[in-house]
Structure 1
Amino acid sequence: MHVVPLPALADNYIWLLHDGEGNAIVVDPGEAAPVESALRSRKLTLRAVLLTHHHHDHIGGAGRLRDDHRVPVYAPDDDRIEVATHRVKDGETLRLEQPSARFDVIAVPGHTLSHIVYVGEGVLLCGDTLFSLGCGRLFEGSPAQMLSSLRRIASLPGDTLVCCGHEYTAANGRFAQTVEPDNAALKQRVDEVARLRANHRPSVPATLSSELACNPFLRVDSEGVMDWCRQHGAANDPVARFTALRSAKDVFSA
């Protein structure tokens, strides 16, 4: 399966997955135009749309794509996603015939209460739950819910490609380095991202193993993150440590 990030809106990525026979699916199309352009240029036929959560910058183009291409739209069970034709939930497996693909559905409340991710074909299609070197803001869920969701993701194979919904990696890296300034893997990743962005290339996908080595929100039990949390009065409990990290990131600017 070929995996292509399509830039959209201000800093979103729509994920295009296609086989070698011209069949494609798209994930979280915040607008339709980048998808239509990619389908034409690559001579692909759209077969399905997958949605992770209800925010408009992830579903804004889904209705047009559904109607113009007559394709199913898979989404979590959330009435705010009116464009859906099929609802999927935690523990289910989505099987597609064209392209031939299988995705496990995992519920990941935190960013929103109904957020889901799709895992299969070597990729994690994670919307706004996990970012490279960061995680999503808590608009609806609690810190405990988000930490639990991230831990479910962290248990996936290390070579899984993290396909997230935004190009936030450089900014996330600047915050992460304030938490773990001596993390050599993080420094290497930050340098890599700087080179990629200087050449106008996307910083994602990244492997989950890289995120486990670098992303502070996946490392709340690591010594480096615990040291930072001790300095911020939140060392005793994993949820408290995660809460302190997320609160600090929410007001961080550099």
Structure 2
Amino acid sequence: MWSYQHQHFTVHQLPVLRDNYIYLIEAHTSDALIVIDPAEAVAVQRACKALEKKLTHIFNTHHHWDHTDGNLQLKAHFDCQIIGAKCDAERIPGIDIQVTQHDAPEIAGLSIQTIEVPGHTSGHIAFVIDDALFCGDTMFGAGCGRLFEGTPAQMWNSLCKLAALDPITKVYCAHEYTMANLEFSRSIDLDNLALTERMHRDGSLRQQNKPTIPSSIAVELVTNPFLRSLDESFCQTYAARYKLSVSDALTVFTDIRLRKDRG
């Protein structure tokens, strides 16, 4: 378990399954203890025991089993509340509180924003707590989620919402995919010095069996291939290289996503 301090809370990062991350948010000024996307219950129960605290809430970013599989066991054990997207309530096990972009959950001691980010799934949401983004499978370290239920336009719009957050915002995504994503990014984003630096930095972390996550919005803007479409010069260079007829951001993003899917 790795822990990261923020002004009003501590984030505890739990690696589970093959490459998942579960996050526990421990409020500093209340008894709130939130878990984000509990892929399994046992790891969360052990962490709560180590912290000597009771789980109060479960936040689900989307319905996939590797984000919700611990819901019912944890709810039965802790009598905690499960919070998820209103538009996807029928697919969130044990949901108690349904939220939208306009009515974020109210938890004592924490300032929370909900962002609707369809693309990976139709009902995907992200949570922003102060300067921390919990984005599930919408954005990864140097990547984004596959489009299982949404369109490229939906995912691009969702990523633009996240990219507009304060650059200092920490990015807590749900999987450790960074190194594979960086290899792909290097294949399409030539001569990007920030990308080269990140590959060395994150590669060193993985050699030490340490997480590359959290990242930050600032880092993702200059190294994530799916956000590079925000840079007009990148779009023009990419479109010329791959012989696209147009170089608008959505077209370039869509081509990059298809190229990653094929790779």
TM-score range, shorter chain: over 0.9
Match of 1:10 among 11, 18, 23: 18
Distance 2:40 2:93 in 1: 16
Q: CA deviation at 1:103?
A: 1.1
Aligned to 2:236: 226
Aligned to 1:95: 106
Kindly indicate whether residue 203 of structure 2 is the aligned counterpart of residue 194 of structure 1: yes
Distance 1:70 1:196 in 2: 37
Distance 1:233 1:141 in 2: 26
User: Alpha-carbon deviations, 1:30-61, whole Å to 9, x = none?
Assistant: 10111111111222221111000000000000
TM-score, scaled relative to structure 2: 0.91
Aligned to 2:224: 215
AA aligned opposite 1:124? L
Structure-2 change in CA distance of 1:55 and 1:65 (3 Å) = same
Contact 1:104–1:118 (8 Å) recurs in 2: yes
Q: Residue 250 of structure 1: SS of its match in structure 2?
A: helix
Distance 1:192 1:210 in 2: 12
Unaligned runs of 5+ in 2: 1-8
Structure-2 change in CA distance of 1:13 and 1:226 (3 Å) = farther
CA RMSD of aligned residues (A): 1.4
Aligned to 2:6: none
Q: How many residues align?
A: 250
Distance 1:23 1:238 in 2: 41
Match of 2:54 among 45, 50, 54: 45
Kindly indicate whether residue 161 of structure 2 is the aligned counterpart of residue 152 of structure 1: yes
AA aligned opposite 2:19? D
Unaligned runs of 5+ in 1: none
Distance 1:67 1:225 in 2: 50
Distance 2:157 2:150 in 1: 11
Kindly indicate whether residue 179 of structure 2 is the aligned counterpart of residue 179 of structure 1: no
Distance 2:247 2:28 in 1: 51
Aligned to 1:120: 129
Q: CA deviation at 1:23?
A: 4.1
Contact 1:25–1:50 (8 Å) recurs in 2: yes
Kindly indicate whether residue 103 of structure 2 is the aligned counterpart of residue 61 of structure 1: no
Contact 1:107–1:117 (8 Å) recurs in 2: yes
Kindly indicate whether residue 141 of structure 2 is the aligned counterpart of residue 132 of structure 1: yes
Distance 2:235 2:206 in 1: 27
Match of 1:84 among 90, 95, 101: 95
Q: Residue 45 of structure 1: SS of its match in structure 2?
A: coil
Contact 1:229–1:244 (8 Å) recurs in 2: no
User: Alpha-carbon deviations, 1:132-187, whole Å to 9, x = none?
Assistant: 10000000100000000000111110111101010000000000111112111111
TM-score, scaled relative to structure 1: 0.94
Q: Residue 96 of structure 1: SS of its match in structure 2?
A: coil
AA aligned opposite 2:243? G
Distance 1:206 1:236 in 2: 28
